Chains A and B, each alone.
Chain A
Amino acid sequence: MRNRIIAGVGIAALATFGAAAPASALSDTTADLWVVHAFPGATVDIVLSGAADQTLDNVAPETVAPLVDVPAGDYEVEIFSEDGATSLLGPIEVTLEAGTSYAAVAHPNADGDLTLTPFVNDLSSIAAGESRVVVRHTAEAPAVNVLAGGAELFGGVTNGQEGVVDVPADTYEVEVQVAENDATAIGPVDLEFAAGTATFIHAYGAGLNLPYGVVMYEISGLGAGPDGVPAGSAGLVDESANTGLIVGGVALAIMLALGTALVVRRTAAARG
């Protein structure tokens, strides 16, 4: 037997341990759409119509609502006031392609007006030991620089743009500065970026009352584990005695004997 369960039910059962985060539920016919409310001040209703109809009621600012596994296709997105009476934005046409994870972020543009920016969530696989950092400029502010551990992660990011980079998984002191005068816009704050996880960070604020905050979500399960755990180096606890390896041992002895015979014969031939 190659896998012996000595106690319990085995590692296979661990997949059911708890409930996984909604990393993605992508398929050939569906897409994911993470709806992010990063417009300060107003609770809104967000209405999707098209390939499927869905209404998000009473979405408060700083809320992230993943619509997982929605039908791919063309949609119109419209944002209404909390009581549903007034259209605040849209309808905006968006196309969701199958097998793709999107974000639709409601946020102020550089002038402070409500806008909706679609992004694609980069869920490509992440190298072991690395973490993906995605920073989206979704606040009412001019171009910014994003610093991590004192080094510039992204420079000159303007409203509606994003920066994507994979970094060694670790804790970083993150700060966002206004590009033109280095004024602190967000942070500095220590953030731990976990291996195999993509962290999506949205700048949050309006009215130029710095510092601003952030609205974040993460999608994990994108990385690989190590290739192995080579946890023995001396052979002192060899368990071969229990496992039919005696047969192997005998075989080895026979081979050794044959080898010896062969060598003897060759030697004899050389002499002869």
Chain B
Amino acid sequence: MFGRGVVAVVAATALLAIAGCSATPAQRAEGEPGPGIIALKSTVEVQDYSLTIDDLAPVAEPTTVVLGDLNIDMSIEPHGLESNGDMSLPVSPFVAGWYEFGSAPDSRRGAIVLAAHVDSLAEGVGPFSRLKDAREGMTVEVEDDEGELHRYVVETVERIEKDEVDFDAVFTDQGETHLVLITCGGVWDRDRSSYTDNYIVTARPVT
């Protein structure tokens, strides 16, 4: 991992160099102000933002998600987008979908998004229906296809009207890697065959 942190690159040391008295090599001083004139010059500490081949190595995909306190233990399938731009989901509410265009547990940043139907006519009510009872501090475990276990702790639980959800923020590829669990809830809108709200649980990695 590299520390792609704050952009302190520019805010480096600003030196008040009096031309003629500075240690600047002669070749460099030519274009500078004459003697006695104070020039503001900053020397930038070089922070390396280069990536290696390993940084772009394929990441392991999540395979199971367990939230023991809520008796959730589900397998995970990778899913992308529907033609209408919505996230595609497993048909069964007993299987969670991982947004494959987002982050994975091994990613260097961004949201790992797992979503599942809250219910279906064929199979009834699924485990993610219990996400509304998630609370801060509960542990979520995600296993990937290399057998590695990633542990997260619930930070926020929200119920947001679907039209109000900032999906670009929920699916962000920025910031510290974090886990987001999503399902539906609220009021069933029979005309639209849809619930009014999304439940969104956000969990921070346990280090």
Task: Write the residues of chain A forming the contact surface with B, with a CB cutoff of 8 angstroms.
Answer: 2-23, 25, 34, 36, 47, 49, 52-60, 62-70, 76, 78, 80, 83-87, 128-129, 169, 171, 189-197, 199, 214-218, 220-221, 223-240, 243, 245
Contacts and interface: CB of A to CB of B under 8 A. Distances in A.
Contacts of B177: 18
Contact of A11 (B41, B51, B158): B158
Contacts of A7: 134-136, 154, 156-157
A200 B91 CA distance: 38
Interface stretch (B66-74, B125-133, B143-151): B125-133
Given A128-B81, A225-B171, A235-B190, 20 more contacts: A11-B202, A17-B204, A55-B42, A56-B44, A57-B44, A57-B45, A84-B25, A85-B27, A192-B58, A216-B50, A216-B56, A218-B51, A225-B169, A228-B86, A228-B162, A229-B87, A229-B184, A231-B115, A232-B184, A240-B187
Q: 8 smallest A-B Cβ distances: which pairs?
A: A18-B176, A8-B156, A225-B171, A232-B184, A235-B188, A195-B101, A227-B85, A238-B188
A84 B52 CA distance: 28
A171 B58 contact: yes
Contacts of B58: 171, 190, 192
A68 B170 contact: no
Interface of B: 4-7, 9-10, 24-25, 27-28, 31, 39-53, 55-59, 80-81, 84-87, 89, 93, 99-103, 107, 109-110, 115-121, 124-125, 128-129, 132, 134-136, 154-162, 164-178, 182-188, 190, 193-195, 198, 200, 202, 204
B7 A228 contact: no
Given A54-B42, A63-B48, A129 B101 contact: yes
A230 B194 contact: yes
A3 B162 CA distance: 10
A68 B8 CA distance: 9
Contact of B46 (A8, A65, A68, A224): A65
B26 to A, nearest CB: 9
A239 B118 CA distance: 12
A237 B44 CA distance: 58
B109 to A, nearest CB: 7
B159 A4 contact: yes
Contacts of A54: 10, 41-44
Q: Which of B87, B170, B190 has the most CB of A within 10 A?
A: B87
A64 B154 contact: no
B173 A234 contact: no
A2 B160 contact: yes
Contacts of A66: 7, 9, 47, 49
Contacts of A195: 101-102, 173
Contacts of B121: 233-234
Given A49-B31, A57-B43, A225-B170, A231 B4 contact: no
B42 A231 contact: no
B169 A68 contact: no
Given A7-B157, A8-B155, A231-B89, A64 B184 contact: no
Contacts of B24: 84
Nearest to B155: A8
Q: Which of B51, B52, B170 has the most CB of A within 10 A?
A: B51
Q: Which of B24, B103, B158, B177 has the most CB of A within 10 A?
A: B158
Contacts of B46: 56-59, 63, 65
